[in-house]
Amino acid sequence: SCLKFIKVRRLRGPGIVYYRGDGCYSVLGKLPTGQPQPISLTPKCWVYGIVEHETLHALGLDHEMSRRDRGKYITLHLGNAFDGFGEIVGYQPSFLTYNLKYDYGSVMHYNRVSSSVNGRITISTKNVHYLKTIGQTHAASFNDIKLLNLHYCNDICKRKLNCSNHGYTDPKNCNVCRCPTFFTGKLCRQLVKSQAGCPNQELKAIAQPKTLAIRGKKSCIIRITAPLRSRIRLRINISQFTLFKVCEPFKGLEVKFLNDKSVAGARFCGLDRNKIILSEGNTVILHYRGMRPIDKVNIVYQTAN
């Protein structure tokens, strides 16, 4: 983004002050008094994505679950949550989205058991494949940063490039685009290259089923394309990776099956079998990231009826 953080010894006016407090929290947006914005962090908060989460609050970003359109994407189970959870994730009618799609992979999204009193789910996803994607603490998503740029940096580049795949003109270099995950090139029209030992990057889906099998330690980015106005049906026969509470990017399998490829794909970690995914349009992007020799996927793909 165009935002630049400069460390200073003393801060008297607007700015951000990180301090060791009794929790992880920040006031939303710039203080009207013009004073420094305090961000409380405990040692448990010293995780890159959590620090980013609170910093983005200070810069004005609210929780993804507070969007006006959240009812299309999640269900809250307040009976399983601590008192006050409903206020924390409360619907905000003034939430500015700049027409960006709901992003299950946002660092501003809570995980499925956040504030649970009984270990049961407090937030479920309308699309079941995203249940283990919500609650990222790895880093801000592409659209988290894009939202910041649309609010603070949109006037820097007077001429906007025709970026593909929902990329945007880079405010630090107006001659290139900032690209969503897995895309590269000046206008975001190319895929990031796979590593050696991966299948072909470009695959075609037809009515007859085809099988994609990958195993071992490697990073593979693959685009499956069907004819125009067709959709793609994926059956994940098996997906085997290290299990995490929240599936992390670049560790497991990510499937971008929605039309908007700027939002996070559904992430799979641990052991999954017989998962059926139907694409929204005629393209799917897959990212396989095996960290161990035993990691593997076996996927059958074809056009959908």
pLDDT tens-digit profile of 181-203?
999 999 999 999 999 999 999 99
Which amino acid type is present at position 62? D
Residue 57 labelled as part of a binding site: yes
Q: What is the pLDDT of residue 119?
A: 94
218-230 tens-digit pLDDT:
999 999 999 999 9
Residue 129 labelled as part of a binding site: no
| Distance (Å, whole) CA 2 – CA 136 | 23
Question: What number is the average pLDDT over the span 161-171?
Answer: 97
Q: What is the pLDDT of residue 94?
A: 79
Domain residue ranges of the chain, discontinuous segments joined by +? 1-60, 153-191, 202-303
- Environment class of 203 (CB within 10 Å of its CB; exposed 0-12, middle 13-18, buried 19+): middle
Asked if residue 234 lies in contact with residue 300, where contact means CB atoms within 8 angstroms, the answer is yes
* Mean pLDDT, the chain, integer: 95
**Residue 161 scores a pLDDT above 90:** yes
Fold of 202-303: Jelly Rolls (2.60.120)
Catalytic residues: 54
Check: CATH 1.20.120 for 153-191? Answer: no
Which residues, in sequence order, are CB contacts of 151 under 8 Å at separation 6+? 60, 96, 98
Q: What is the pLDDT of residue 299?
A: 99
266-300 tens-digit pLDDT:
999 999 999 999 999 999 999 999 999 999 999 99
29-52 tens-digit pLDDT:
888 888 889 999 999 988 999 999
Residue 212 has φ and ψ, to the nearest 5°, of -115, 120
Asked if residue 53 lies in contact with residue 138, where contact means CB atoms within 8 angstroms, the answer is no
Predicted confidence band at 88 (pLDDT cuts at 50, 70, 90)?
confident
Q: Hey, do 153-191 and 202-303 end up sharing a CATH topology, with the first three levels equal?
A: no
Q: What is the pLDDT of residue 59?
A: 94
